[in-house]
Amino acid sequence: MSFPFGPKSSAAQLAAALPATISARSPWSDARTRFMRNRAAVVSLITLLVIAALCAIGPFLLPHAFDTADWDAMKLPPTWKNMHWWGTDESGRDLLVRCLIGGRISLMVGLMATLASVALGIAWGATAGFLGGWVDSLMMRLVDMMYAIPYLLIAILLVTILGRDFYLVVLAITAFSWMDMARVVRGQTLSLRNMEFVEAARAIGVPTRRIIFAHIVPNLLGVVVIYTTVTVPAVILTESVLSFLGLGIQEPMTSWGVLIEDGTKVMEVAPWMMLFPAALLSITLYCFNFIGDGLRDALDPKERLA
């Protein structure tokens, strides 16, 4: 095979021909291609988007309200009668609408609590890892002390003391869901703080805060995205457990945890009341886990495209 340029070719000729001979790909382009090759992750992403879209717009398209009781159709099994396709609950309320409203609440709690915990974990972990020394030791010992406290017990106490409002539930879950992110970010920051670009920023007098949030944090984006997809299902599951125990979202609003808790009371006579919300919750959790696995493989620097 002959090289298209002779030994006397100029550097300008080589530079002009380089884009035509080498197809440069950005790391994010490679990551997107690897992610799209993961069928389980792609199917999970599509499924999750469909569920989120149905929860967002579905209640507006159905003829029933989530809090309107039909006393003539209590515990009605799934039927085409009166368009109760998923049946009704013990008060005659349409189960399909309530599942969609419950999914809206569960997803909102999961996303809001996750965003808050991710922001807090990034700020805490990046600061501790970059400053090091006694500051790092003090900050991480506080995290270790919080790890020693039973997470679910504290969440229950906070919900009991503060109340069961939507935002208070989010606050109670956020209070202890940021620690994993802080540890991960701190470990990654320790490996980045002695890199050349950080040393160069220090040498020219860039403030510490700017180094952390303008130079360190952007290089943690891949790890943050992966752990975010892991945190969302954990938060949704925590909210479902609190709601199942009667400490989460309260009537007339609902969530998947509330619906499952209601369904377990009448499981022998009306199994559909538990099966449908439980199936939606399980599918959503599996989708997030498969998406997280796909992102982990896609953003792994050891993976290379052929």
Higher pLDDT residue, 133 or 163? 133
Q: What is the pLDDT of residue 5?
A: 46
Paired with 94 in beta bridges are 88
| 206: three-class secondary structure by DSSP | coil
Q: What is the pLDDT of residue 217?
A: 82
Q: What is the pLDDT of residue 155?
A: 74
| pTM across the whole model | 0.78
Q: What is the pLDDT of residue 21?
A: 41
> What are the tens digits of pLDDT across the range 95-139?
889 899 989 988 998 889 899 999 999 889 888 888 888 888 898
How many secondary structure helices (H) and strands (E) does the chain include? 13, 0
What burial class does residue 200 get, using C-beta atoms within 10 Å of its C-beta: 0-12 exposed, 13-18 middle, 19+ buried?
exposed
Q: What is the pLDDT of residue 210?
A: 86
Q: What is the pLDDT of residue 49?
A: 94
Q: What is the pLDDT of residue 173?
A: 83
- Residue 203 identity: A
pLDDT above 70 (res 232): yes
Q: Work out the average pLDDT over 217-246.
A: 82
pLDDT above 90 (res 18): no
Give the Cα separation of 259 and 263 in Å (integer). Answer: 6
pLDDT above 50 (res 233): yes
Q: What is the pLDDT of residue 300?
A: 66
pLDDT above 60 (res 22): no
pLDDT above 80 (res 152): no
User: Any idea which fold 37-65+80-298 has?
Assistant: MetI-like fold (1.10.3720)
pLDDT above 70 (res 306): no
Higher pLDDT residue, 103 or 213? 103
Q: What is the pLDDT of residue 154?
A: 76
Q: What is the pLDDT of residue 3?
A: 46
| 71: three-class secondary structure by DSSP | coil
Residue 302's pLDDT band, with cuts at 50, 70 and 90, is: low
Backbone angles phi, psi at 56, to 5 degrees: -75, -45
